Amino acid sequence: MVDAIDQNGGGRASNGQPSRPPSIGPHNASHETSDKDSLGSQAQAQEPAFPLLQNNASSETLLQNVQAQKRTAEDDNDEEPAVARPFVRTNRPDSSPRPPTPPDERAPVRSAYKMHKFTLYETASRYYIVGGDVTEKRYRILKIDRNTHDSDLSITDDKIIYSQKEMNSLLNTIDDGNKGTGGIKQRCTTWGILGFIKFTGAYYMLLITKKSTVAMIGGHYVYQIDGTELIPLTPAKYKTDARHVEEQRFLNILKNLDLTRSFYYSYSYDITRTLQHNITKERRALVNGVPGTTYDDYNSMFIWNSHLLRPAEEALNDPFDWCRPIIHGYIDQAAISIYGRTAHITIIARRSRYFAGARFLKRGANDLGYVANDVETEQIVFEALTTSFHSPGPKLFANSQYTSYVQHRGSIPLHWTQDSMGVTPKPPIELNLIDPFYTAAALHFDNLFERYGSPVYVLNLIKARERTPRESKLLEEYTNAINYLNQFLPEGHKIIHKAWDMSRAAKSKDQDVIGTLESIAESVVTTTGFFHNGDGIVTPTKAQNGVARTNCIDCLDRTNAAQFVIGKRALGHQLHALGMLEDTTIEYDTDAVNLFTHMYHDHGDTIAVQYGGSQLVNTMETYRKINQWTSHSRDMIESFKRYYNNSFLDSQRQEAYNLFLGNYIFAQGQPMLWDLSTDYYLHHADPRTWSQKQKHDYIHWYTPAYLEKRTIPPFVPPKGEMASKPVSFFDDYWLEYYRPSTLSSFPKMFPYKMNSTIKYIPFKSTQEGKYDLSPFRVRADGDTEVQERKRPAAKKEVIIVDPQDSPKPPDDDSESVMTEKTSARGISIQRWLQPMQPDKGPIVPQSIMKETEKGYDRLKPKQTPQEKSKAAQWTFANIVQESLNPSVSAQETEDYSRYISHPQSLPLVISNEAPPDVDSSEYQEYLNGGSWHTDGLAPNGADEDFEGYTDLLRVGENPLTVTDEDLPKKRYKAYRKWLRGKSLFKQQPVD
């Protein structure tokens, strides 16, 4: 039951109709032959240079994207609304008792209990959360007591599955039992619970109220949080004491953390772990004969609401049925269309919650080995031939169309800080602790071995030479640390250290920054490898062993540029493994790399805002040395924003992090969060527990099991009763993606709405066969589409349209996403010099200023390059002859005849008798000497103007001498203004 529906380029088109296959089958071969015979040699003569964008899902997707821009925002929603719809209640309770609905036999027990959307009801003493699954056939209820601050959290889950009628009957029963206190009321709808948090009083419940789809991986949707609500679990008539200002201050600190920015979750896919880990976990469960037992195995390092989930984990057996673990970072997905084949690129950045904080407040590593700005970036590339992780057969979790590559960034794992109390934008770097055994670095690299295997490729981009040593001090200490740790590692597993001063290379004119990064990236990708899924028999599997760890001083600008180049190299290897690319390299300035650049640029901006307070200061344009002026001005603005945030706002953001992540927990007798002079002890181990901890081995600092080579377990089909189960029993993507028994439409599904390289294509050029559809074609300046895109915009003109003409239908090219709107232009000189068609004659406009360049293009046939060259030769040979021998054409003669016979033209002979059909009263009054003799010479201006004019005509004895009496005059005031730098030509009032 593995689906074989192509996304954006295969089995179905975006309008819901089956797309026509690219090859012609036997059933329609005769029809194709007849079409070719009817076209004849004309079709062969006009054969396009490149394939046309038609008869496949890609072209329909482009048309759908164009039409989608014209729709209203309501019609452009996802298949699922951003705000959950409430549970539908009926007022008539079901009198006949019914047994609870058993779980569906087609679904595993754990999958049957997964809830997708929820409705919150309240009574005077309790909250009730009604949860429904994706099919809206199974419902569950959660009861939460509304207590005061003296009681603990009380949650009850009966684990009973209800039908819609049974849930209505239960809610009506609760309503009848609480009639005396107001009954049961709906409070809000939610997509899940983020957890519970407590400060000085009662608990608060944090809910997801709004979401949006950002990615689809194996049929599992990934959502971004767009709205949250914090609800106090206090009785309905409970009022907080105004004297307890600490509670309100804690709430204000928590509100500084915006949960609607870059927080993500999924109902059925573990986004806290890499794709390789998830596939390996499922394959290993199949080998052990216990499929379906891998639920809720999340990586606590990336669960940012782990502190809020702790009360739910203590009160519920299965808290993740109701609560959603969230990650903080960045997720984006886009599509590359390759001649009908579609590859989806997904970038997932996971930020660690350990030692998390703002830029200058969290540097280096803590004594547990966790570093600041620890971000894991994974890029998943898969071909959308099938949706799920399973290959046809079905072979569970053996789809060979899925690949992934993982990178890592993090601060230098040493004990160092920067004091940001001053006003300098670059505070001095201080090494606070000199550890000869480099314990923090050892713990950090052992953790990297545990997560990714070996080897670890360290790309160190900090400065090597400085006038005042800042970064160079860390370079020396970091090199010594790696050299110390490497002497104990076995051969083949040593840490690879590549130090390169990227900042100096970028400022040098004779160094190629991108070229050096490309060579480093190729070495990195070939060293670590990448993950490629398969069954191990027909399609071999590959596993990534090791990781590239990139760092600069902030792990932002230089690190993002280096990670982009490494990711670009990995993208080439991934597409080559999928059979979409002949070579393993992709050139710059192609549609695929441009799309990938935008994704990594947004990825870097998001990570930079989270850690540094502003977007990237130096982008890929800076290091590629293109668009220097625009890039330089943008870099300066971002530098000022980063300096302002680091100086004034980072402390507030750090307090919000400490409160939300549970680094600070209120306790009686302890200082308040805002009274702490430093949060050092919130992120480091308690010194009083050092004696109780097991001492770290300074020689065998690593775990040998982590150095073992990682492989993908072989595919083993299910045995016994599991062999007869469908795919939906093992993977619940079927219900989430296809939504059976629900009306769906392709234009509203996320895979058809995501960003794609198709949006870079001018649609009309593809229909004429003038555009290479390959996303790996370098778009040089000589390309036709680039020339059209770079054509300077013409001046806007007024076009008076003849009322008798009907409005013209819009041109196809005007609907293209990438084609610019062209304005009407006058006819060019070269076109004016070209000869007219002898059979058609000259084109005469029928109204004023109606015909534009587009009109001429529409009426004149398009000329070949040979015809254009002949026209140019005709111009130089005949222009002189026609100038020396002028002639009047028949059309010009007709125009002149029509002009002289105009009904409003006056007679050429003047007589005393007025024409009988003309009113000559006004003319007669003029001839008889009316009032114009006296009125016409009377001054119309004011007396002041008349006196000024009279004074201007008067010439003094010494006309060149300016006296004191002349200073108040207007012309001298204007002259004084001119001497002060004012322009005489600007119409400015004169004092």
Q: What is the pLDDT of residues 489-499, one digit of tens each?
A: 999 999 999 99
Query: Which has the closest alpha carbon to 592: 382, 758, 337, 775?
Result: 775
The segment with the largest mean pLDDT, out of 428-432, 540-544, 822-826, is 540-544
With beta carbons less than 8 A apart as the criterion, state whether 275 and 743 touch.
no
Strand 126-132 to 263-266 pairing: unpaired
Between 54 and 928, whose confidence is greater? 928
Residue 695 confidence (pLDDT): 72
- CA end-to-end span of the chain: 89
Residue 970 has pLDDT above 60, yes or no: yes
Least confident of 548-557, 616-625, 751-760, 870-879: 870-879
Residue 31 confidence (pLDDT): 43
Element (H, E) at 333: strand 327-338
188: β partners: 120
pLDDT interval class at 708 (50, 70, 90): very high
Residue 274 confidence (pLDDT): 96
Average pLDDT over residues 73-79: 49
Tokens describing residue 332? 């984006």
Residue 38 confidence (pLDDT): 45
Residue 111 confidence (pLDDT): 56
Least confident of 306-320, 322-336, 433-447, 665-679: 665-679
pLDDT interval class at 342 (50, 70, 90): very high
The CA distances from residue 17 to 57, 532, 741, in Å, are 9, 32, 19
216: β partners: 221
Residue 906 has pLDDT above 80, yes or no: no
Residue 671 confidence (pLDDT): 87
Between 291 and 98, whose confidence is greater? 291
The CA distances from residue 788 to 314, 794, 821, 913, in Å, are 64, 13, 11, 65
With beta carbons less than 8 A apart as the criterion, state whether 608 and 614 touch.
yes
The CA distances from residue 22 to 392, 582, 658, in Å, are 22, 21, 57
Residue whose entry in the numeric block shows the structure tokens 């919000």: 656
The C-alpha atoms of residue 421 and residue 737 are separated, in whole angstroms, by 52
pLDDT tens per residue, range 544-602 = 999 999 999 988 889 999 999 999 999 999 999 999 999 999 999 899 999 999 999 99
Average pLDDT over residues 605-634: 75
Q: Provide the 10 A C-beta neighbour count for residue 104.
A: 18
Residue 21 has pLDDT above 70, yes or no: no
- The percentage of the chain sitting over the pLDDT mark of 90, rounded to a whole number, equals 36
The C-alpha atoms of residue 131 and residue 158 are separated, in whole angstroms, by 12
Strand 755-756 to 429-431 pairing: unpaired
Q: How much is the pTM? A: 0.72
Residue 865 confidence (pLDDT): 62
pLDDT tens per residue, range 717-737 = 888 888 888 887 888 787 888
Element (H, E) at 213: strand 203-217
Average pLDDT over residues 864-880: 63
Q: Provide the 10 A C-beta neighbour count for residue 752.
A: 23
Between 770 and 292, whose confidence is greater? 770
Residue 963 confidence (pLDDT): 76
Average pLDDT over residues 45-74: 49
Q: Provide the 10 A C-beta neighbour count for residue 537.
A: 11
Least confident of 111-120, 850-859, 963-972, 977-986: 850-859
Burial class (CB in 10 A: 0-12, 13-18, 19+), 770: middle
With beta carbons less than 8 A apart as the criterion, state whether 418 and 470 touch.
no
Residue 43 has pLDDT above 60, yes or no: no
Average pLDDT over residues 231-249: 81
Tokens describing residue 856? 């001429």
Tokens describing residue 687? 């010194």
Element (H, E) at 585: none
Residue 613 confidence (pLDDT): 78
DSSP H helices, 469-590, are: 471-486, 502-507, 513-528, 557-577
Q: Provide the 10 A C-beta neighbour count for residue 761.
A: 25
The C-alpha atoms of residue 455 and residue 553 are separated, in whole angstroms, by 23
pLDDT tens per residue, range 276-303 = 999 999 999 888 877 765 667 899 999 9
Residue 30 has pLDDT above 50, yes or no: no
Residue 19 has pLDDT above 60, yes or no: no
pLDDT interval class at 467 (50, 70, 90): confident
Q: What is the DSSP string of 177-188?
A: HTGGGT--EEEE
What's the residue count for the chain?
A: 991
Residue 503 confidence (pLDDT): 87
Q: What share of the chain is helix, strand, coil (3-state, %, to 5)?
A: 35, 15, 50
The CA distances from residue 153 to 162, 189, 312, 677, in Å, are 25, 21, 9, 32
Q: What is the CA radius of gyration of the chain?
A: 38
The C-alpha atoms of residue 322 and residue 265 are separated, in whole angstroms, by 13
pLDDT interval class at 751 (50, 70, 90): confident
The C-alpha atoms of residue 365 and residue 481 are separated, in whole angstroms, by 13
With beta carbons less than 8 A apart as the criterion, state whether 745 and 16 touch.
yes
Residue 17 confidence (pLDDT): 38
Average pLDDT over residues 422-444: 85
pLDDT interval class at 945 (50, 70, 90): low
With beta carbons less than 8 A apart as the criterion, state whether 460 and 551 touch.
yes
The C-alpha atoms of residue 101 and residue 964 are separated, in whole angstroms, by 108
Least confident of 27-31, 697-701, 881-885: 27-31
With beta carbons less than 8 A apart as the criterion, state whether 195 and 323 touch.
yes
Q: Dihedral of CA 765/771/777/778: which sign?
A: negative
Element (H, E) at 335: strand 327-338
Residue 648 has pLDDT above 90, yes or no: no
DSSP state of 676: -
Strand 755-756 to 327-338 pairing: parallel
Phi then psi for residue 330, to 5 deg, are -160, 135
Average pLDDT over residues 871-896: 72
Farthest-apart Cα atoms in the chain, separation: 129
Element (H, E) at 190: strand 185-190
State the average pLDDT for the chain.
77
